[in-house]
Amino acid sequence: MSVFETILSSDLLLFLLADLIIALAFLSAMRFFTGAIDNIDTIDELAKRDNFAFGISLAGAIFGLGIVLSGAISGEKAATLPIEILGMSLYGLAGLVLIKLGRWIYDRVSLNQLDKNAEIAQRNVAVAIVDACAAIATAIIIRSTLVWAEGLELITFVAIFCGFLIYQTIMLLMTRYREHCYSRGNLGTSMQQAFKDNNIAVALRHGGYLIGVALTVTIASNYIYYDTANLLTTLGSWMLFSFVMLTTFTLLAIIAKKIILNGVNINKEVDLQNNVGIAAMDMAINLSIAFILMALLI
């Protein structure tokens, strides 16, 4: 009997359909949820004002939710269809809320020198790119914790939330570090000011780094055993392992850029000349190193 015939002849098809319907419902809800929370008419922004920045920001949120939902679908199916529907719905709702919460934290803490919603309303594409990349990076971490944690107990969602907070902390520290490097190389001007000035190259470079870091941090879920009896120790080990991988990723990315972009002053091209091509190369190298590390260590 073929795999297709096996699916049709079992209850697995019902589980797959239920997961698909719930996933589509949550993806559809993200647009309306974003509009309601931010008090924005999404149709007006997308179709009437043709606000590309808003479209990029919303696309990042929807793609991020899709990443989270893929984590909820992964793994073994529940014992019964009602439990599967409940689990998928709870994980989907948790993902939607955490993505929105992650964006709120990043806006208020990491990007504390600018008003993201106001900038996007003024069609600031650079801010929208950073916002989208932050949402995708957050979603990658949430997906990792969904796959890592097991069950539908309260402790499972506590573990997921703690993993989410760990990455938000890492993302804040990395943003501050990159801001320091940017200011040191640009006579005290700030990276957030570059975002406000709609420097798309700086936004792409930073966004690529955020996603690369997120991909690298997820490697920890394959080495740290999920143990609810020692959750604090487990999460501490996750954070320690994540910083080790973060350091490894950063060093390898620097070496790769020195080789691949030899003879190119990346800081000058990206920060001062808004060279989107060089920024795209920088982003591609970051993501490539992250995927290579994942392939080597997972």
In sequence order, which residues have a C-beta less than 8 Å from that of residue 273 and are 6 or more positions away? Answer: 201
The pLDDT of 172-192, averaged and rounded, is: 86
- Own/partner contacts of 42-50, CB < 8 Å, gap of 24 or more, are 45/121
Q: Assign 181 a pLDDT band (cuts: 50, 70, 90).
A: confident
- pLDDT for res 103: 82
Q: Assign 2 a pLDDT band (cuts: 50, 70, 90).
A: low
pTM: 0.89
Q: Do the beta carbons of residue 69 and residue 136 sit within 8 Å?
A: no
Is residue 132 predicted with pLDDT exceeding 90?
yes
Q: Assign 262 a pLDDT band (cuts: 50, 70, 90).
A: very high
Summarize pLDDT for 196-237 with one digit per residue, the tens. Answer: 999 999 999 999 999 999 999 888 888 888 777 787 888 888
Residue 65 structure tokens:
């939710």
Q: Do the beta carbons of residue 99 and residue 61 sit within 8 Å?
A: yes
Summarize pLDDT for 13-51 with one digit per residue, the tens. Answer: 788 888 889 888 888 888 887 777 777 878 888 887 889
Is residue 10 predicted with pLDDT exceeding 70?
no
The ranges assigned to domains in the chain are 3-297
Q: Which residue has the tokens 């795209």?
A: 280
In angstroms, the Cα distances linking 172 to 111, 134, 211, 229 are: 9, 11, 13, 29
Q: Which residue has the higher pLDDT, 192 or 81?
A: 192
Is residue 52 predicted with pLDDT exceeding 60?
yes
The pLDDT of 125-129, averaged and rounded, is: 96
Instruction: Give me the chain's average pLDDT, please.
Output: 86
In sequence order, which residues have a C-beta less than 8 Å from that of residue 204 and are 6 or more positions away? Answer: 129, 276, 279, 280, 282, 283
Q: Which residue type occupies 225?
A: Y
Q: Which residue type occupies 281?
A: M
Across the chain, which distance is largest between two alpha carbons, in Å? 69
Q: Assign 109 a pLDDT band (cuts: 50, 70, 90).
A: confident
Rounded-to-integer distance, Cα 129 and Cα 69, Å = 22
- pLDDT for res 274: 94
The three-state secondary structure class of 224 is: coil
Phi then psi for residue 124, to 5 deg, are -80, 100
Q: Which residue has the tokens 């990723």?
A: 249
Residue 81 structure tokens:
């269809």
